[in-house]
Amino acid sequence: MPIAINGSGTLTGLSVGGLENGIITPAELSTGAPSWDAQYNLTNVASINSGPLAGFRNAIINGNFDHWQRGASFTGSEYGADRWFHSRSGTTHTATRQAFTLGQTDVPGEPTYFCRTVVSSVAGAGNYAIALQAIEGVRAFAGQQATISFWAKADASKNIAIDCQQNFGTGGSPSSAVNAIGTVKKALTASWQKITHTFTITSVAGKTLGTDGNDSLALFIWFDAGSSFNARTDTLGQQSGTFDIAQVQVEAGPVATAFERRPIGTELALCERYYQVIDGRAGGYTVPGMTITYRIPFRTLMRATPTVVVTGQENTNTTGATMGAEGNGHANHVALGAVTGGFLTRAVGLFSAEL
Amino acid sequence: MYQLTSGDTIVRLSDNAYIPQAPGNRDYAEYQTWLSAGNTPLPAPPPPPPAPDYFTFWESLLQTSAYQSIRTQSASSLLMNTAATEFIALIGDAKMGRPIEPAIQLSILTVLSAGTFTEAELLEFQAALVAGHLDSIYTLEAPES
């Protein structure tokens, strides 16, 4: 019988007599949750008064699918929800933003959105459909125990698979990627359920990083996988279906704690290290041939000098409105005066510095 | 497929994304992989023709004996004076970014037909058009009827 304090300051379960001399360690004192490990770390704490634990445990950004700067529906191998890459080969898929019904209780914490992936499987050993997120820095959880948790359901009883991949980046002579880390297959039903999986991330001792600073630990959630990926998916196999995921979390340690809800502006700032939309507008007085240019600081420094797609150009008494990047700190809006007089120029830059 | 540019970026043609030649940029890494597979990007498109520059044309014309000839003939010829006044006004509008090309062409021909010009003066006029990148727009010779 465990020794316990019953709430009235009384010890119960204490049998006096026959005790050996010595001390009782914290680990010996408590065998249930919560407990201390041998290093006196408190473990097995799911929440504090049913609220969140201390912040920034979750290495996944936008795990709550709150931010969709690129749109709300995607069919290619492309970024969809912020930080989430929807990858496919052979098989087709459509990833969309879906709203939870207000007040629903199937998934706790009143999340606003979840991500739905509708998969149409096409037979082929190399075909697949995946949702993945690359966590910046291959050192993440290296040599440590980590736990992934998320809520999921499917249109019927289906399986999905999870694995992680360590990427050592580009530039120089980096080590080859290591995948099939923590591979597991999980069963889904038509009802929301919390999926959890604890595993040890491979150590990076002896590995060589690339020189470009783009190494990462990537989490893969497999919906459809040809036989070429059996080792990475616990032989998931090929399947069509509708797969919903919400509240994705990856954290250190053996326990899936409550989903960490960060302030929405904080989460957006985290996303904008990798993707930003800059809407540049300027007005004034110009003459033909005058170069109009100004710099716009990125709202947060981007991970690397970003790629830019320019859209939304408007020219009133100007030509060639466009936008580029100056390193990872600034956007640069440029236009050319066409007519003497007042002008208005606009260009929208979609800046991406994803991993 | 990719295309080089006259600047330091590469265009990914599938979405017109401008990719910087920056280490750590995912798209640049993919481009390098694409190159390593033996692919070749499209060459940079030719630069656009230089934009008409009416300021430079006017500054060039002012320094020529052709312009002095226009002034001299304007003092004695009402026809030349009228033609020159209209020409100067039209070029003024063009310098402000509002060229009325048909009217300017007609005005050039009117000025040249209102007076007499030496072959050297006509060559100076043509050189001023070239300096302002206007020689592809305007001609000194009336079209044959």
Q: B23 and A341 in contact by Cβ < 8 A?
A: no
pLDDT beyond 60 at A297: yes
- The reply to whether B93 touches chain A by the CB within 8 Å rule is no
CA A120 to chain centre: 24
Three-state SS annotation for A32-84: CCCEECCCCCEECCCCECCECCCCCCCCCCCCCCCCCCCCCEECCCEECCCCC
Tell me how far apart the alpha carbons of residues A313 and A335 are, in angstroms, rounded to a whole number. Answer: 10
pLDDT beyond 70 at B62: yes
- Mind telling me how many Å the CA of A276 is from chain B's nearest CA? 14
pLDDT beyond 70 at A337: yes
Structure tokens at A115: 């991500």
Question: Using 50, 70 and 90 to split pLDDT, how confident is the model at B143?
Answer: confident
- Mind telling me how many Å the CA of B94 is from chain A's nearest CA? 9
Output the pTM of the full model. 0.84
**Which of A72, A84, A117 shows the shortest CA–CA distance to A224?**
A117
Nearest to B19 among A171, A307, A338 (CB): A307
pLDDT beyond 60 at A31: no
Tell me how far apart the alpha carbons of residues A193 and A183 are, in angstroms, rounded to a whole number. Answer: 19
Q: What is the pLDDT of residue A32?
A: 52
What percent of chain A has pLDDT above 90? 81
* Segment among A110-114, A148-152, B98-102 with least mean pLDDT: B98-102
Give the residue, A287 or A306, on which the prediction is more confident. A306
Tell me how far apart the alpha carbons of residues A349 and A129 are, in angstroms, rounded to a whole number. Answer: 29
Query: Which chain A residues in 195-224 lie under 8 Å from chain B, judged by CB atoms?
Result: 211-214
- The reply to whether A326 touches chain B by the CB within 8 Å rule is no
- Mind telling me how many Å the CA of A289 is from chain B's nearest CA? 8
Taking CB atoms and an 8 Å cut-off, how many pairs form between chains A and B? 78
The per-residue pLDDT for range B86-109, each reduced to its tens digit, is 999 999 999 988 899 999 999 999
Q: What is the pLDDT of residue A18?
A: 61
- The reply to whether B49 touches chain A by the CB within 8 Å rule is no
The per-residue pLDDT for range B12-52, each reduced to its tens digit, is 999 999 999 999 999 999 999 999 999 999 999 998 888 89
- The reply to whether A305 touches chain B by the CB within 8 Å rule is yes
Give the mean model confidence (pLDDT) for residues A52-75: 92
- The reply to whether A342 touches chain B by the CB within 8 Å rule is no
Q: What is the pLDDT of residue A45?
A: 72
Structure tokens at A160: 């999905």
